[in-house]
Structure 1
Amino acid sequence: MNPKDSDTLSDVAGDPAPTPHATAEQVEAALKDTKLAQILYHDWEAESYDDKWSISYDKRCVDYARNLFDATVPPEELRELPYDRALELGCGSGFFLLNLIQAGVARRGSVTDLSPGMVKVATRNGQNLGLDIDGRVADAEGVPYEDDTFDLVVGHAVLHHIPDVEKSLREVVRVLKPGGRFVFAGEPTSVGNTYARSLSTLTWRVATNATKIPGLEGWRRPQAELDESSRAAALEAVVDLHTFDPDDLERMARSAGAVDVSTSTTEFTAAMLGWPLRTFEAAVPPGKLGWGYAKFAFTSWIGLSWIDDNVWRRVVPKGWYYNVMITGVKPS
């Protein structure tokens, strides 16, 4: 896609329709086509994505998004907020940008994603919050906006889905105004991904097998839902293309033309707890666990995150943390 051909991409009303339930044949085709896999998997997840990842647009996630932003951006720049116009790349349900706008980071925003289903959900979430948001279905390797359009570009858990990360970062730098900043968070480190995926896989196997035991059948999702989750998991293995070493990610950003590039990392023991908990939640019927479990999961994650930031950070290498965040600036 030529990034200048913005008139070839319509607004949400004219975008392709989502595919909320991929067939076995579509999954088979997607296993050989990375971008088709991205579309099918994220369309599949779109309507349930916020529930799956405990995403909200209230104080809890507003504070979380703002804390990620503040941990990444130099303190002196935080005093000059808000940015006027922001773009979220690979928006998903809009979690990062919508909560950042509510936190006072930007006044208005645009959301893009390769998945029509995600763009639909993100723009709907923005409208429900009364925010100034527009959306487009778009490839992150060919962002459909003119040069020097945005003051800020953000993304959360998106870079690891993009085949050519450096090409996408070049597009990010292109659409930023001179002096504009990008912030990407929620990207898996190479070490962190190893232990997170291993714990998640083990939890899924234990939970789905334990619920076959007589007396525990009420904790088991219907087999059709488990089969659908397994097909989604097969696509997930295709759409997760990269893990990152923080230093390598910085080098890619500089090669893409950014300056003042830096990375930071979050979640070490918090990820070791969070991934099994989220996997367990996905393996049992919705609503089965209740408020007490939700409170336990959230407060435990908060506590371990504090320990990670204030204790383990002194002795654990940066690259061992699960999430890496990166920021940079377009040269003035």
Structure 2
Amino acid sequence: MTASSNEPSRRLAAVPDVDPAPNPHATQEQVEAARTDTKLAQVLYHDWEAETYDDKWNISYDERCIDYARGRFDLVAGDQPLPYERALELGCGTGFFLLNLMQAGVAKTGSVTDLSPGMVKVALRNAEHLALPVDGRVADAETIPYEDNTFDLVVGHAVLHHIPDVEQSLREVLRVLKPGGRFVFAGEPTTVGDFYARWLGRITWEATTRATRLSALKSWRRPQSELDESSRAAALEAIVDLHTFDPADLEKIAESAGAVEVKARTEEFAAALLGWPLRTFEYAVPPEKLGFNWARFGFTSWKRLTWLDETILRHVVPRRYFYNAIITGVKPS
């Protein structure tokens, strides 16, 4: 079922005028409560990560990430006329996807929403620093607090796998899109890709934290309090990552929600096999130990392996084996 003129519009009367404040330091009691409350877990985990998220994932708002965001968009919607007048980012995090797409000329103005107050705060701060016209709200992706037919484009990065009811969320996306409007969601983990990425991450974390217990490598060990907090965050992460997707199944979900012109692409196979150990290692050691040369090595390696993935491997490896899925669709006119 898709949104139509016969369905009741969602009004904003029930939306609070003041967004809740971020809670960046979840207690053990809150973590325990979140084990049985998925949306509480989402808020606690992403509030905890908000202020350090860009550093953790090497997110920037310069040419490197502008090109990355535009590249993900162009993989599934590169033939569309630009710019879109008004865009929404669902589950915005720190605003990485929308803000870089706006800098790339994909959209003129933007709105950001996230269930985490901490993430919305950081996204709006990033938009202000970039002098981009963006507003934002703390919001549930299953009940988006905007009127019908508001946006020309809805985007998201690594958000659908956090949402309990993905099809309901996509219905909401179609409701707030104008007829003919498009959505693009990137960075969604495939089922096979998530399996090998998690195992690579666990092995790298265990090896690094064990090795840095040795006296010769003591200076490479993060303070125990930081490792303990990371472990607590990891416990929440296991709760907030609700889904993985087979690309074909993701297309069916979007079509069932009412979208047309649905298409899924996947990316990062060789790049993911290297990327996940590198990212995990970076987070397991003090950041001052890794300088510019390490960052250049990581980025250059990722670029080369991405070229290998796109030029050769995508022609011989089934798409479900790649790590990231990108899905696009259009609201019927």
TM class by shorter-chain length? Answer: over 0.9
Q: Percent identity?
A: 70
1:4 aligns with 2:27: no
Partner secondary structure for residue 109 of structure 2 = strand
CA distance in 1, matches of 2:152, 2:273: 36
CA distance in 1, matches of 2:109, 2:71: 20
CA shift at 1:214, angstroms? 1.1
Amino acid at match of 1:53: W
Partner secondary structure for residue 186 of structure 2 = strand
Superimposed CA distance per residue, residues 226-251 of structure 1 (whole angstroms, 9 cap, x where no aligned partner) = 00000000000000000000110000
Does the 8 Å CA contact 2:11/2:147 hold for their aligned counterparts?
A: no
CA shift at 1:3, angstroms? 7.3
- The equivalent of 1:26 in structure 2 is 30
Q: What does residue range 206-225 of structure 1 map to in structure 2 within 5 Å? A: 206-225=207-226
Deviates more, 1:309-318 or 1:233-242: 309-318
- The equivalent of 1:186 in structure 2 is 187
Q: 1:56 aligns with which of 39, 49, 60?
A: 60
- The equivalent of 2:86 in structure 1 is 85
CA shift at 1:74, angstroms? 4.9
CA shift at 1:7, angstroms? 3.5
CA distance in 2, matches of 1:73, 1:287: 39
CA distance in 2, matches of 1:228, 1:164: 29
Amino acid at match of 1:177: K
CA shift at 1:321, angstroms? 0.3
Partner secondary structure for residue 123 of structure 2 = helix
The TM-score with structure 2 as length reference comes to 0.96
- The equivalent of 1:47 in structure 2 is 51
CA shift at 1:10, angstroms? 4.6
CA distance in 2, matches of 1:155, 1:7: 25
Amino acid at match of 2:180: G
Q: What does residue range 8-157 of structure 1 map to in structure 2 within 5 Å? A: 8-10=14-16, 14-75=18-79, 77=80, 80-157=81-158
Does the 8 Å CA contact 1:89/1:140 hold for their aligned counterparts?
A: yes
Amino acid at match of 1:50: D
Superimposed CA distance per residue, residues 61-86 of structure 1 (whole angstroms, 9 cap, x where no aligned partner) = 001000100011152x1xx2000000
Residues 210/109 of structure 1: CA separation in 2 closer, same or farther (3 Å cut): same
CA shift at 1:215, angstroms? 1.3
- The equivalent of 1:237 in structure 2 is 238
- The equivalent of 1:269 in structure 2 is 270
Q: What does residue range 252-263 of structure 1 map to in structure 2 within 5 Å? A: 252-263=253-264
Residues 155/3 of structure 1: CA separation in 2 closer, same or farther (3 Å cut): farther
CA distance in 2, matches of 1:254, 1:174: 14
CA distance in 1, matches of 2:11, 2:26: 30
- Unaligned segments of structure 1, at least 5 residues: none
- Unaligned segments of structure 2, at least 5 residues: 1-7
- The equivalent of 1:280 in structure 2 is 281
- The equivalent of 1:294 in structure 2 is 295
CA distance in 1, matches of 2:204, 2:52: 21
Partner secondary structure for residue 144 of structure 2 = coil
Structure 1 ranges of 4+ moved more than 6 A: none
CA distance in 2, matches of 1:8, 1:164: 21
CA distance in 1, matches of 2:243, 2:256: 18
The TM-score with structure 1 as length reference comes to 0.97
- The equivalent of 1:308 in structure 2 is 309
CA distance in 1, matches of 2:287, 2:149: 45
CA shift at 1:276, angstroms? 0.6
Partner secondary structure for residue 289 of structure 2 = coil
CA shift at 1:313, angstroms? 1.0
CA shift at 1:8, angstroms? 3.4
CA shift at 1:6, angstroms? 1.8
Amino acid at match of 1:234: A
Amino acid at match of 2:240: V
CA distance in 1, matches of 2:28, 2:105: 44
What is the number of residues matched between the two proteins? 326
